[in-house]
């Protein structure tokens, strides 16, 4: 079980129901959820201020986001619809359908990888959005359910497990969980507001080799290093 060391703490919009988080070009991209409150944002790290925002139509419950090239992909929960935007302007380029629920999404540089809350990850072609394959995620032979927010780091898939303070580190070739990152206690109980404010945001800072971690309705965002037991 990996632990963590907090490097810095930053402010985070406590009304943001975080569903996806990306660190790119010294800025956060954040996708938020809840019907009537879902959005796509660029956020300043140090202040937490929203620099740019578009709101999703009220019928959509926003979910995970990822950026590949100049395109930003955003999922929705139960509408079987995703959106593609220009990452800089947030101009919507296209909608696309998919058969499952939408939870988290990341990429390996060539393909998109998405989760639907089950133990299955789906590999998509980023141009056609066709399914290319699946990854069945297991830990010691048992399926790992409720895979949510995803981040691809050093050839491994980091997956938030919904309603836990744990992140699974997954080998994409085998689907095996190679490690668990335990983030228990990272947000003080006094800063939690209820049942829904769960860990749900992973972004990678390649320059510092650190992770950014936040959650739904969390007032803080943490930059951490993983501590691997010797």
- Is residue 214 a contact partner of residue 12, using CB atoms and an 8 Å limit? yes
Give the global pTM.
0.96
In the structure encoding, which two tokens stand for residue 22, read together? 């990306």
- pLDDT for the residue 189: 84
Instruction: Give which of 122, 116, 175 is closest to 147, Cα–Cα.
Output: 116
More confidently predicted of 35 and 190: 35
What distance lies between CA 72 and its chain's CA centroid? 13
Task: Give the CATH number, domain containing residue 110.
Answer: 2.130.10.10
**pLDDT tens sequence across 82-115:** 999 999 999 999 999 999 999 999 999 999 999 9
- pLDDT for the residue 197: 72
- Is residue 62 a contact partner of residue 40, using CB atoms and an 8 Å limit? yes
Is the pLDDT score of 52 beyond 70?
yes
- pLDDT for the residue 195: 65
Is the pLDDT score of 198 beyond 90?
no
Number of domains in the chain: 1
Q: Using alpha carbons, list the distances in angstroms from residue 20 to 63, 121, 135, 140, 190.
A: 7, 16, 20, 28, 24
Triad 220, 79, 176: Cα angle to 5°: 65
**Average per-residue pLDDT for the chain:** 96
Q: How far apart are CA 229 and CA 57, in angstroms?
A: 46
Q: How many residues can be counted in the chain?
A: 230
Mean pLDDT of 40-56: 98
Domain interval for residue 70: 3-227
Q: How far apart are CA 14 and CA 163, in angstroms?
A: 18
**pLDDT tens sequence across 12-25:** 999 999 999 999 99
129 by Cβ neighbours in 10 Å (0-12 / 13-18 / 19+) ranks as middle
Is the pLDDT score of 193 beyond 80?
no
Q: SS3 of 87, please?
A: coil
CB atoms within 10 A of CB 194: 8
Q: Which residue has the tokens 């836990």?
A: 164
Mean pLDDT of 198-225: 95
Residue 49 forms beta bridges with which residues?
Answer: none
In the structure encoding, which two tokens stand for residue 72, read together? 């930003």
How many DSSP H helices and E strands does the chain contain?
Answer: 0, 22
């Amino acid at each position: 079980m990996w632990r963590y060391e907090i490097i810095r703490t930053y402010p985070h919009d406590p009304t943001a129901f975080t569903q996806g988080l990306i660190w790119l070009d010294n800025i956060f991209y954040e996708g938020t959820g809840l019907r009537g409150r879902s959005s796509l944002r660029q956020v300043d790290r140090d202040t937490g201020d929203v620099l740019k925002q578009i709101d999703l139509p009220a019928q959509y419950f926003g979910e995970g986001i990822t950026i590949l090239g100049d395109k930003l992909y955003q999922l929705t929960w139960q509408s079987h619809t995703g959106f593609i935007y220009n990452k800089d302007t947030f101009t919507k380029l296209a909608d696309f359908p998919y058969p499952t629920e939408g939870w988290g999404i990341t990429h390996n540089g060539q393909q998109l990888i998405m989760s639907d809350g089950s133990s299955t990850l789906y590999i998509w072609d980023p141009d056609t959005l066709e399914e290319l394959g699946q990854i069945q995620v297991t830990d010691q032979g048992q399926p790992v359910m409720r895979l949510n927010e995803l981040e691809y780091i050093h050839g491994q898939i980091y997956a938030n497990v919904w309603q836990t303070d744990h992140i699974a580190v997954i080998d994409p070739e085998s689907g095996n969980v190679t490690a668990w990152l335990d983030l228990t206690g990272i947000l003080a109980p006094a800063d939690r507001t209820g049942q829904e404010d769960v860990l749900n945001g992973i972004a990678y800072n390649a320059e510092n080799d650190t992770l950014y971690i936040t959650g739904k309705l969390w007032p803080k965002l943490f930059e951490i290093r993983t501590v691997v037991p010797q």
